[in-house]
């Protein structure tokens, strides 16, 4: 077996089927670009999750003038209650889990509310007393918020305990579903490109059936007959996946970092190192896909 001969056959095949080769390149390029962006989206969601979960705090809302009577039978929380909550937070049972905590009084809550709802009519009607005084608790491990929640739920003068992560979870569930859907579509596209590769290779084999017949006649081994076709598929898919990798790098560099990053200064967006991690995966998937698709196509065609 001489490899130079096999390569020569593969190159002549590529030259003869330019249109088909271009179609393989395009379809692997598109589907792998989709796969690449979908996986970067997954990375982005994971990164944001880490970032925001770390920032998430547990809010212990104290009873205000408008708190429902069933939660706050004794009305607005008194100074005694604030002292009791502070004491509880400083107790040995809770202290090891807490990084720090601070108290937000009516005035601060009002100020934050006005900032948050600037221009919204609700900001005009709300009074200081209606807003809860709150203990904001930052945990060492945000996963262990249950300890605080359990301690203060039903605590006299506490209206509600809320882990901010529960809000984040909703957002991340949506983002996660979106990126999973993207991966699903990408998988379908990969499947269709595998089918296209195998159809193309079979057509290529059909157009060279005379040569294949002669090769078999003179005793060429099946491996030797198949190799140029498999190489043809692999070369085309490699070009396509290199283009896809390049596209993913370009998207990250020019769109994510170039356009999005200046607009979202407080968000940690995926960068070139992430794209460079995805790059070899895309090329690997492309090559493997082409090898399997063209190999199985040609094997079925050559069955004696």
Partner 1 sequence: MISISNVTKQYKGAPRPALDDVSIEIDKGDFVFLVGTSGSGKSSLLRLMLREDVPSKGSVSVLGENLVAIASRRIPQFRRNIGMVFQDFRLLPNKTIFENIAFSLEVTGASRSKIADKVPAALNLVGLSEKAGRMPNELSGGEQQRVALARAFVDTPALLLADEPTGNLDPATSAEIMRLLEKINEGGTTIVMATHDRGLVDMARKRVVVLDQGRIVRDERGSGYVGQE
- Give the interface with partner 1 as residue ranges (CB under 8 A): 1-2, 5, 12, 210-211, 213-222, 224-225, 304
Nearest residue (CB) to partner 1, 7 versus 103 = 7
Smallest distance, partner 1 to C-beta of residue 2, A? 6
Closest by alpha carbon to 95, among 152, 155, 146, 137? 137
Closest by alpha carbon to 95, among 139, 150, 146? 139
Smallest distance, partner 1 to C-beta of residue 18, A? 15
Which neighbouring-strand residues pair with 137? Answer: 58, 101
Nearest residue (CB) to partner 1, 5 versus 173 = 5
- What's the CA gap between 198 and 194, in Å, rounded? 6
Kindly compute the dihedral angle of the four CA atoms of residues 183, 185, 189, 191, in this order, to the nearest 10 degrees.
Answer: 80
Smallest distance, partner 1 to C-beta of residue 212, A? 11
Measure the CA angle with vertex 260, ends 257 and 264; round to 5°. 110
Place of tokens 């491990």: 141
Nearest residue (CB) to partner 1, 214 versus 264 = 214
Beta strands in 105-184 (DSSP E): 134-139, 158-163
Nearest residue (CB) to partner 1, 13 versus 245 = 13
Report which secondary-structure segment, H or E, holds 68: none
Nearest residue (CB) to partner 1, 219 versus 262 = 219
Q: Could you report how far apart the first and last alpha carbons of the chain are, in Å?
A: 21
Smallest distance, partner 1 to C-beta of residue 229, A? 14
Smallest distance, partner 1 to C-beta of residue 291, A? 20
């Amino acid at each position: 077996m001489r490899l130079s001969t096999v390569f020569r056959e593969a190159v002549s095949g590529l030259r003869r089927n330019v249109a088909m080769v271009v179609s393989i390149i395009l379809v692997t390029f598109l589907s792998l670009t989709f796969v690449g962006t979908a996986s970067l989206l997954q990375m982005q969601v994971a990164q944001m999750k880490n970032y925001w979960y770390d920032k998430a705090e547990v809010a212990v809302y104290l009873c205000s003038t408008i708190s429902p009577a069933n939660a706050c039978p004794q009305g607005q929380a008194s100074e005694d209650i604030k002292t009791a909550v502070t004491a509880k937070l400083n107790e040995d049972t809770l202290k090891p889990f807490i990084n720090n905590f601070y108290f937000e009084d009516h005035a601060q809550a009002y100020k934050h509310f006005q900032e948050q709802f600037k221009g919204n009519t609700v900001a005009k009607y709300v009074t200081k007393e209606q807003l809860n005084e709150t203990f904001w608790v930052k945990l060492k491990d945000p996963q262990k918020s249950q300890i605080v929640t359990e301690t203060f739920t039903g605590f006299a003068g506490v209206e509600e305990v809320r882990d901010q992560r529960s809000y984040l979870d909703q957002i991340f569930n949506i983002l996660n579903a979106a990126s999973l859907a993207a991966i699903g579509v990408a998988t379908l596209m990969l499947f269709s490109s595998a089918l296209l590769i195998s159809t193309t290779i079979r057509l290529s084999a059909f157009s060279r059936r005379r040569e294949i017949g002669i090769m078999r006649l003179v005793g060429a081994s099946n491996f030797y007959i198949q190799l140029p076709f498999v190489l043809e598929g692999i070369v085309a898919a490699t070009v396509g996946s290199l283009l896809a990798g390049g596209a993913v790098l370009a998207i990250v560099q020019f769109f994510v970092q170039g356009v999005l990053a200046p607009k979202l200064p407080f968000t940690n967006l995926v960068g070139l190192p992430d794209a460079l991690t995805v790059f070899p995966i895309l090329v690997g998937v492309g090559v493997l896909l082409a090898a399997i698709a063209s190999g199985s196509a040609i094997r079925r065609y050559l069955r004696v």
